[in-house]
Each structure stands twice: as structure tokens, then as C-alpha cells.
């Protein structure tokens, strides 16, 4: 269907990338219609394009937390389920005073110490009135993170949200069951 729409737009002389962008923006939930800077990078990522039609695991992270080793488990989930469409996104935050002051140090923890390859974004607030737009939505539709490494499973439509506290490990049976149920409904 998307190819048909793009083809028709080409016939009318509409620039394809603009057409694709418009198509994506109309089928994406408002809270994902945003571009965020990648962690310690000059590059940005369009969350709508990244997540469109895919189930998503969103996690608020911190470099100096007792739950920081969850990065290895999150990376294992990313590796195991990415071929089934799962998108994992990490949002580093200093809201609980456990994030590095310098993003290069946060990047080192993620990429060097834990081998993270899933999308990590620039440090931002995830709770309260300063929360980024993604976490404002998650807080309204599930719960605000009470600590680092809250996990949010979002269905492929970007609407149904299930929240898990950091006490529920990413490799726990409870979490894996919910994750696989989210994947199977796609």
C-alpha cells in the first residue's frame, strides 16, 4: 500500500522523501512524532520512523545505578528479538542522580562497558514537568518511573503500554512472557 501511495505521489511530481515523511507522520502516535539526538553523537533519530509498526521496549537508564548491569540483559533481548521487529530504546536520565555528568562517560558505560548496540538517546528528563514527550505519554498511560531502569512495552500501534519496575529483570519469566505476548499480537 505504501509503495502504491508513493508511486501515485511520484506521478504527481511530489518529492518522495517528503511524501514518505508525511505518510509516516500520519500513521504514528503523536508522542513518537519527534526527533531525538543519539547519545554522544551529532546524529539524530526520528522515533516515528524507527518504531513505526513495531513493538517497542523503552527504558530509562542510568550509568551508576545498582540496576546498570541490566544493560547486558537488555542487549541480549535486543539481539534475540530484533528480527521479530522489537525496537529497544534507552533514555539516559539523571532524574535519580545516578547518571554521568558528561555524555561521553554515559556513552562509555553503555557502548564500551556493556556492549549496547540498541538505540541510546541523549540524556533527558523522564519524570515530572520536565519529562520528555515520550515519558509524558508513558506516565499518563502507565506510570511514571519511580527509579532507573523502568521498562515499558509498547505495542506496534504505539498505544498499549505495560510498565515494569526495575525489580522485574529483563530476563525474568514475567517480563519475557509479556514481551513475547506483545510480539505475538503483531
C-alpha grid cell, residue 60: 530509562
Per-residue pLDDT averaged across 80-100, rounded? 98
| pLDDT value for 27 | 79
| pLDDT value for 120 | 98
Distance CA 65, CA 24 (A): 36
* Lowest-confidence segment of 24-28, 48-52, 136-140 by average pLDDT: 24-28
Homologous superfamily assigned to 30-184: Glutaredoxin (3.40.30.10)
| pLDDT value for 162 | 97
Predicted confidence (pLDDT) at residue 134 exceeds the cutoff of 70: yes
Per-residue pLDDT averaged across 103-117, rounded? 98
For the segment 139-185, what is each residue's pLDDT rounded down to a tens digit? 999 999 999 999 999 999 998 999 999 999 999 999 999 999 999 98
Instruction: Considering the candidates 11, 28, 48, 65, report the single residue annotated as catalytic.
Output: 65
| Active-site annotation holds for 28 | no
Distance CA 139, CA 145 (A): 7
- Look up the pTM and report it: 0.86
Predicted confidence (pLDDT) at residue 3 exceeds the cutoff of 80: no
| pLDDT value for 8 | 40
Predicted confidence (pLDDT) at residue 24 exceeds the cutoff of 80: no
Predicted confidence (pLDDT) at residue 14 exceeds the cutoff of 60: no
pLDDT band at residue 5 using 50, 70 and 90 as cut-offs = very low
Amino acid at each position: 500500500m505504501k509503495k502504491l501511495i508513493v508511486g501515485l505521489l511520484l506521478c504527481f511530481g511530489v518529492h518522495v522523501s517528503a511524501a514518505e515523511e508525511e505518510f509516516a507522520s500520519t500513521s504514528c502516535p503523536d508522542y513518537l512524532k519527534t526527533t531525538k539526538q543519539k547519545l554522544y553523537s551529532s546524529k539524530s533519530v526520528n522515533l516515528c520512523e524507527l518504531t513505526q509498526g513495531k513493538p517497542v521496549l523503552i527504558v530509562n537508564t542510568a550509568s551508576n545505578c545498582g540496576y546498570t548491569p541490566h544493560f547486558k540483559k537488555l542487549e541480549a533481548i535486543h539481539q534475540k528479538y530484533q528480527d521479530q521487529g522489537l525496537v529497544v530504546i534507552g533514555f539516559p536520565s539523571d532524574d535519580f542522580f545516578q547518571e554521568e555528568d558528561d555524555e561521553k562517560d554515559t556513552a562509555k558505560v553503555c557502548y564500551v562497558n556493556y556492549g549496547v548496540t540498541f538505540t541510546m538517546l541523549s540524556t533527558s528528563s523522564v519524570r515530572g514537568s520536565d519529562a520528555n514527550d515520550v515519558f509524558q505519554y508513558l506516565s499518563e498511560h502507565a506510570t511514571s518511573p519511580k527509579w532507573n531502569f523502568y521498562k515499558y512495552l509498547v505495542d506496534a500501534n504505539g498505544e498499549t503500554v505495560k510498565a515494569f519496575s526495575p525489580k522485574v529483570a529483563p530476563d525474568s519469566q514475567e517480563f519475557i512472557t509479556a514481551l513475547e505476548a506483545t510480539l505475538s499480537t503483531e
